[in-house]
Every structure is written in structure tokens, then in C-alpha cells.
Chain A
Amino acid sequence: MKTRLNMAKIARGLGARRRGKVAASGGYFGAMQLLADIEARFRVPTGGGRPTDPHWTERRLVPLAPQTIKRLEELTAKVREHGGVNLEPMQLAALLLEKTTEHLREDEAQEIVHPKRRAIR
């Protein structure tokens, strides 16, 4: 029987950030395989800088409303406080963009860009 661990509780207790699933197995070869997997997927940039997702290679200058920045700052402050994760507001913005674009349908995008006018009585 496989017990489900409370990973959120473990992350909180450690003061760590959950970075993703791995296939961990015992023994020397399991250890070496896991090490290779982690080195390939979760590499910390050397020579300074914050650990980041190696797939985020593109940079764009995006104008934002002050209230959007303020909200991102508030949210990251809460994440830092509760999750022990050292996250920057624009890293959160990148995560939100990634998640939203993965799930957004074309008609939903149209609706965001050109919202239908509601009938006014």
C-alpha cells in the first residue's frame, strides 16, 4: 500500500519550494540516475542569479498597469510568507502566463480582447 505524503506540509516544514516529480529509487544506480535527472532538469545558474526554470529563455518588455504590479507584489509576498519560496513578482507573472496560455481557448482569448457588449436597458 502506497501512502500519500502531505507534500505541502513537508515543503512548509523544510522552508522549501516544490519543484517537481522525480523517479527516485534506492541503491547506488538509483542514486546516480536521480542525480543525472536532477542536474539536467533543475540546474541552478552559476555565477549569480536566482535559480530559474531553464526553459524560460525568451525575454520581452511588457507594459503593465501599476495596480497589476502592486497585486503581483502582494501575491509574491504572501507566497514567500506562507510557502517559504523566494519568488519575484515577474517570476509569478511568468508562471501565471504559462499556466493561462496552456488552458486558454481561442474563443476565450477573443472574448478577453473584444468583450461582448452587455445589453443596456
Chain B
Amino acid sequence: MADKRTKARTKERRTLAGGRKRVLVVLFIPSVERDGSTAIDQQRWVDAALEMFGRVFGGATAFPKAKGIWRDDERGGALVKDEPVVVHCYTTPADIENVRNLAELGRFCRKMGSEAHQGEIGLVVGDEYFAIQDFAEE
């Protein structure tokens, strides 16, 4: 009897270890092209990102856009305004390391990078920042 209970608890622990959504994936949806002034259809990309995260990882949250400003010293100190949207998705270690899921997430980022004329698409997985700069289809 005690043996059965121990086995059940071990099984439960294993399920929790692989199944709890505790890895945070963050995607940044830009508001402008890389020239810093041409606006992109941000809402379309927010909707598409939520749809992709929902389908692949089971859900996501888009936060209201943040207002940002930064000084571009490479262009004589020109002030560039941007309003990115941050999308949060909690997933499991198994799902984020799944090759098919990663391919789908990567494909989405490359499509957004290419069609929205970005220099880079930024993603955070866990505690690490990943940059996608090559938007050629694989």
C-alpha cells in the first residue's frame, strides 16, 4: 500500500516537473521599421503573435504598448520614439525545447522581421535574450 503511494507521488512529481508552465517567453512587437520613423501595422503582428502562441504553446498575454524614446548617437543624436508591445507566454521546459515548436516560433519571428523591415527581432526565453537577425526562410 505504502509502496503504491510512493510510486504515485513519484509519478506526480515527474508530471509536475515536465508539465508546469514555468518558462517565460517574451516577444517584442515593434511599432516602427528600422529607420525609426515608418510605422508598421503593429496590431496585425500582435494578433498574429497571440494566435501563434495560443496554437503552439497554449496561450499568451499582450501588454498595452509602452512609450519609449532613445537617442541615436550614430545619427547625430536624433531622438527616436517607439511604442513596442510586449507579449508574455508561459510554457513548459518540454514545449520550449520541442524542435517543431521552436521552428514555428522562429518562422514567425523571421516573417515579422522581414515583412516589418526590422534589423532584429528580440525574444527572451527564461533568463536569456535571443536575437534573430537573419530573416531568410529556412
Q: Show the binding face of A for B, using Cβ within 8 Å.
A: 1, 3, 5-7, 9-26, 28, 31-32, 34-36, 38-39, 42-51, 84-86
Query: Are A84 and B96 within 8 A (Cβ)?
Result: no
Query: Are A13 and B131 within 8 A (Cβ)?
Result: no
* B97 interface neighbour in A10, A18, A25, Cβ under 8 Å: A10
Query: Are B68 and A11 within 8 A (Cβ)?
Result: no
15 residue pairs of the A-B complex, CB under 8 angstroms, read: A3-B22, A7-B126, A10-B125, A14-B105, A15-B132, A21-B129, A26-B24, A31-B66, A32-B63, A34-B86, A35-B68, A42-B122, A43-B70, A47-B34, A50-B133
Query: Are B74 and A47 within 8 A (Cβ)?
Result: yes
Query: Are A86 and B133 within 8 A (Cβ)?
Result: yes
Q: How far is the CB of A33 from chain B (nearest CB, A)?
A: 10
Query: Are B110 and A7 within 8 A (Cβ)?
Result: no
* Cβ < 8 Å to A, chain B residues 64-87: 64, 66, 68, 70, 72, 74-75, 80, 84, 86
Query: Are B125 and A38 within 8 A (Cβ)?
Result: no
* A31 interface neighbour in B26, B72, B75, B90, Cβ under 8 Å: B26
Query: Are B97 and A9 within 8 A (Cβ)?
Result: yes
* A13 interface neighbour in B35, B75, B99, B124, Cβ under 8 Å: B99
Query: Are A42 and B17 within 8 A (Cβ)?
Result: no
In the bound complex, residues from chain A placing their C-beta under 8 Å from that of B88 are: 26, 31
Query: Are B36 and A47 within 8 A (Cβ)?
Result: yes
In the bound complex, residues from chain A placing their C-beta under 8 Å from that of B103 are: 13
Query: Are B128 and A51 within 8 A (Cβ)?
Result: no
Query: Are B96 and A46 within 8 A (Cβ)?
Result: no
In the bound complex, residues from chain B placing their C-beta under 8 Å from that of A13 are: 97, 99, 101-103, 106
Nearest-CB residue, chain A, relative to B13: A1
Query: Are A10 and B96 within 8 A (Cβ)?
Result: yes
* B72 interface neighbour in A35, A46, A84, Cβ under 8 Å: A46
Query: Are A21 and B128 within 8 A (Cβ)?
Result: yes
Bound together, the chains give a CA A14 to CA B138 distance in angstroms of: 11
In the bound complex, residues from chain B placing their C-beta under 8 Å from that of A5 are: 23, 93, 96-97, 125-126
Bound together, the chains give a CA A32 to CA B120 distance in angstroms of: 19
